[in-house]
């Protein structure tokens, strides 16, 4: 990166309403913006987002910000920084560089989509809450036109969740709604298959991560025997070597993998996962790791370079009260790039 400098700024995103999964309830999300620029023209810069996900990212470590400082310092001194254990920083840096190369217009991966043509179909997301809350949220997603809805499960009593899903399916058949579930590893290996069999009568498209990661024997057994196709999500986190990726996918043999670039090695890492999965007959779709619109935009533009076969998980831009204003707009269940809208980057305290 000769002649270019790097700076970063912390930023706290604030949820409009508490976001609950089987792991935790979130009211805020810490993230970091990163920019690359020519010091002779600092007003022009490529922007990326180091989308740290506390409690989930492999790089949620005490030296995270020190690593960002080292990246900036080493770059000034003409040294490299090993980011192999920091996928979210990798994601932020590579997308900032792509943005800079493509004119500093927040178009890291220019495609007809980022020219305002077409839209990316996304799933609606129903967060965990009371059964009544989740039922109301599902009805709202259907009203908004979503034909694919992902429901977070695993935090409530399973029988009550099953009853709720049964009522939802009675109201919205598979011809109306493609129903995806995300357990975030909430089931124990001993109970998982029984629960999957009970859920299967509801015509479920897929379920993400029914059991916690790093239980390859048990997950492989589930993938072989489950009546519901299984998608791996958290299982991908922390596996950076291509041979290890292939070994895991071959051994577990899931139907799908879920790609969150900030968690699975950045854009280059996601491309590697796609290539390996394709060789094994495994399909994929991309989702956000609850980034701001900066990171979400990068993922959406990257996804738009692909021939998308599945509904993507990119409808999270409305989660925050202080998101970055951008041309990203939801048109019903589709994410579009409205070229008449402008990026408005908040005042940030850039550090080097």
Active-site amino acid positions: 152, 260
For the chain, the distance separating the N- and C-terminal CA atoms, rounded to the nearest angstrom, is 15
The single residue listed with the structure tokens 């023209």 is 41
Instruction: Provide DSSP, 107-118.
Output: -SS--TGGGT-S
Residue (of 258, 259, 185, 247) closest to 222 by Cα position? 185
Q: Which two tokens stand for residue 175?
A: 């011809």
Question: Strand, helix or coil at 152?
Answer: strand
How many Cα neighbours within 13 Å face the side chain of 23?
Answer: 14
What's the DSSP call for residue 203? -
Residue (of 296, 242, 233) closest to 269 by Cα position? 242
Contact yes or no for 181/199 (Cβ under 8 A): yes
Question: Strand, helix or coil at 92?
Answer: helix
Give the β-pairing of 328-331 and 5-20: unpaired
d(CA 273, CA 120): 21
Q: Where are the beta strands (DSSP E) in 38-80?
A: 45-50
Plot region of 188 (φ>0 → left; ψ -120 to 50 → alpha; else → beta)? beta
Query: Interior CA angle at 183 toward 182 and 184, to 5°?
Result: 95
């Amino acid at each position: 990166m000769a002649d270019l400098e790097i700076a970063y700024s912390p930023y706290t995103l604030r949820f409009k309403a508490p976001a609950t999964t089987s792991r935790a309830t979130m009211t805020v999300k810490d993230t970091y913006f990163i920019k690359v620029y020519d010091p002779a023209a600092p007003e022009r810069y490529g922007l990326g987002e180091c989308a740290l996900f506390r409690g989930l990212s492999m790089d949620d470590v005490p030296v995270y910000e020190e690593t960002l400082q080292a990246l900036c310092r080493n770059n000034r001194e003409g040294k490299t920084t090993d980011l192999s254990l920091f996928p979210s920083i990798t994601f932020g840096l590579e997308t900032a560089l792509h943005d800079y190369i493509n004119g500093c217009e927040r178009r890291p991966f220019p495609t007809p989509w980022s020219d305002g043509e077409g839209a990316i179909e996304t799933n609606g997301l129903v967060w965990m809450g009371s059964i009544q809350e989740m039922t109301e949220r599902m009805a709202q997603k259907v009203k908004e036109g979503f034909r694919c809805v992902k429901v977070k499960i695993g935090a409530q009593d399973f029988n009550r969740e099953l009853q709720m899903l049964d009522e939802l399916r009675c109201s919205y058949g598979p011809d109306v709604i493609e129903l995806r579930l995300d357990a975030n590893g909430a089931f124990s290996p001993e109970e998982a298959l029984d629960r999957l069999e009970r859920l299967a009568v509801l015509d479920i498209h897929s379920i993400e991560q029914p059991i916690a990661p790093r239980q390859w024997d048990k997950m492989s057994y589930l993938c072989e025997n489950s009546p519901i196709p299984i998608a791996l999500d958290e299982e991908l986190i922390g596996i950076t070597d291509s041979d290890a990726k292939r070994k895991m996918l071959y051994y577990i043999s899931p139907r799908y993998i879920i790609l969150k670039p900030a968690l699975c090695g950045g854009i280059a890492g996601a491309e590697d996962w796609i290539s390996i999965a394709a060789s094994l007959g495994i399909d994929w779709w991309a989702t956000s790791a609850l980034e701001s619109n900066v990171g979400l935009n990068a993922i959406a533009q990257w996804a738009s370079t692909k021939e998308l076969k599945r509904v993507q998980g990119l409808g999270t831009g409305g989660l925050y009260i202080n998101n970055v204003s951008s041309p990203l707009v939801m048109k019903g269940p589709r994410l579009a790039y409205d070229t008449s809208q402008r990026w408005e980057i908040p005042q940030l305290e850039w550090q080097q």
